[in-house]
């Protein structure tokens, strides 16, 4: 009973993604077989080679006959873009993580330990802003960025992504700081440490696991974001590039599947490595 239920879930989770994985090892000429096979008949790495811009053995294109290589050759410019775009996504993600953690850590610490005029309002505003959709913000942000001449630059994404990563980070980190005993600060104060010193030397080292979990979540959000990347840039990050591939006639499914698999390797690895931290952080971030 339990095992049949488990089997149903395994099928539900794995089948769609399995098809992408198996297609990425399939020769384009073998893709139409019916009923659609579970495994590629003669597995090949060519899709990955093409998508990563590594030359294949027979890359000469005979127009009208060798549709596969001609198609790939015709779209080679954008094919090689995958590696560059992955790099862009990493840079944007790293910058968003850096700026978000830099200002959210001190704000979250403040919300956990101090009270000032409007601090309760600020906390509620932050929680509420987690559910304000990007669709409501996108037009003014788009116009700001155009006036500042920042459209089509990484800054467009770094700035706009901070609008949704910052509230997330503040809420998660505030919950994390709440769990750190105030004894630490009192002991530090007795030793004559200033408030800023205490934060830097006593609290931050204890908060490292929380900072890592938050950083990973922020990076994932940045890596996954598509809408802002679509409207603020010209296919600058991976999801936007893949969306562009979708509409290209010359770009076939086997190539796209290889690109898709490559694109989800970084987030999948991150999630697998940090799974325990992330789920705890997410549960605490949404649970309050």
Partner 1 sequence: MILKSHRARREESKRSVSNGRFGFYLALPSILVLLALLAIPAVLTIFQSFFIVPPDGVGIGEFTKVDNYLFLFKNEIFWATSLRSIWFALIFIVGSTVIGMAAALLLNEKFVGRMVLRGLLVLPWACPWLIVGIIWKWFADGNIGLLNGVLMRLNLISEYKDFLSDPSWAIWMTAIAATWRQSCLVALLLLAGLQTMPREIWDAASVDGAGIFQRFRHITLPWLRPALTVVTVLNVIYGLMQFDVIFAMTQGGPGSSTTLLSFLIYRQFFIFTNFGIGSALAVALALIALVGGLIAVKTLYRKIEV
Q: Does 141 bind partner 1 (CB under 8 A)?
A: yes
Are 202 and 160 in contact by the 8 Å Cβ rule? The answer is: no
The binder of partner 1 chosen from 77, 147, 190, 208 (CB under 8 A) = 147
- Residue 94 or 107: which CB sits closer to partner 1? 107
Q: Does 276 bind partner 1 (CB under 8 A)?
A: no
Q: Does 39 bind partner 1 (CB under 8 A)?
A: no
Q: Does 55 bind partner 1 (CB under 8 A)?
A: no
- Rounded to 10 deg, the angle between the 154-178 and 208-224 helix axes is 150
Q: Does 132 bind partner 1 (CB under 8 A)?
A: yes
Give the shortest CB-64-to-partner 1 separation in angstroms: 22
**Which positions from 223 through 252 interact with partner 1, judged by CB under 8 A?**
223-227, 230-231, 238-239, 242-243, 246
Distance CA(79)–CA(27), nearest Å, equals 17
Distance CA(27)–CA(43), nearest Å, equals 7
**What stretch of H or E contains 176?**
helix 154-178
- Residue 62 or 103: which CB sits closer to partner 1? 103
- Residue 54 or 139: which CB sits closer to partner 1? 139
Distance CA(195)–CA(253), nearest Å, equals 57
How many residues form the binding site for partner 1 (CB under 8 A)? 102
CB-CB neighbours of 265 under 10 Å: 10
Q: Does 36 bind partner 1 (CB under 8 A)?
A: yes
Q: Does 85 bind partner 1 (CB under 8 A)?
A: no
Distance CA(104)–CA(48), nearest Å, equals 39
Q: Rounded to the nearest 5°, which phi and psi values hold at 190?
A: -60, -35
Q: Does 87 bind partner 1 (CB under 8 A)?
A: no
């Amino acid at each position: 009973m339990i095992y049949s239920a488990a089997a149903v879930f395994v099928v539900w989770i794995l089948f769609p993604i399995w098809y992408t994985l198996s297609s990425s090892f399939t020769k384009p000429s073998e893709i139409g077989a019916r009923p659609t096979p579970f495994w590629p008949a003669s597995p090949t790495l060519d899709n990955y080679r093409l998508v990563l811009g590594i030359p294949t053995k027979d890359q000469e294109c005979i127009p009208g006959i060798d549709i596969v290589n001609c198609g790939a050759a015709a779209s080679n410019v954008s094919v090689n873009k995958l590696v560059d775009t992955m790099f862009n996504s990493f840079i944007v993600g790293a910058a968003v993580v850096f700026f978000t953690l830099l200002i959210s850590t001190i704000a979250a610490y403040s919300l956990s330990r101090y009270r000032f005029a409007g601090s309760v309002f600020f906390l509620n505003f932050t929680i509420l802003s987690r559910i304000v959709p990007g669709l409501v913000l996108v037009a003014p942000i788009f116009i700001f960025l155009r006036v500042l001449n920042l459209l089509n630059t990484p800054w467009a994404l770094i700035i706009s992504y901070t609008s949704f990563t910052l509230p997330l980070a503040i809420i998660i980190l505030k919950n994390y700081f709440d769990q750190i005993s105030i004894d630490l600060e009192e002991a530090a104060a007795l030793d004559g440490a200033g408030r800023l010193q205490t934060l830097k030397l006593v609290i931050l080292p204890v908060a490292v696991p929380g900072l890592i979990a938050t950083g990973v979540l922020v990076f994932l959000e940045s890596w996954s974001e598509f809408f802002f990347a679509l409207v603020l840039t010209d296919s600058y990050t991976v999801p936007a590039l893949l969306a562009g591939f979708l509409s290209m006639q010359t770009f076939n499914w086997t190539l796209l599947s290889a690109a898709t698999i490559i694109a989800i390797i970084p987030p999948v690895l991150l999630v697998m490595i940090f799974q325990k931290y992330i789920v705890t952080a997410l549960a605490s971030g949404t649970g309050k």
